[in-house]
Amino acid sequence: MDKARNFRNYKVWQDAVDYSTKVYQITDKMPWFEKKGLCDQLQRAAVSISSNIAEGSAKPTNADFARFLDTALGSAYEVETQLLIANKVGYIRNENENEKSLTYDELYNGIIEIEKQLAGLIRSLRQ
What is the domain partition of the chain in residue ranges? 7-126
| pLDDT score recorded for residue 98 | 64
Q: In what helix (H) or strand (E) does residue 122 lie, and over which residues does it extend?
A: helix 104-126
Helices (H), 58-99: 62-88
| pLDDT score recorded for residue 94 | 85
| pLDDT score recorded for residue 1 | 46
CATH classification for the domain delimited by 7-126, as one of 2.130.10.30, 3.30.565.10, 1.20.1440.60, 2.60.40.10:
1.20.1440.60
Instruction: With beta carbons less than 8 A apart as the criterion, state whether 30 and 38 touch.
Output: yes
Instruction: With beta carbons less than 8 A apart as the criterion, state whether 78 and 125 touch.
Output: no
| pLDDT score recorded for residue 103 | 92
Q: Residue 49: pLDDT above 60?
A: yes
Instruction: With beta carbons less than 8 A apart as the criterion, state whether 92 and 36 touch.
Output: no
Closest CA to 49 of 88, 86, 22: 22
Mean pLDDT of 60-76: 97
Lowest mean pLDDT among 82-86, 99-103, 117-121: 99-103
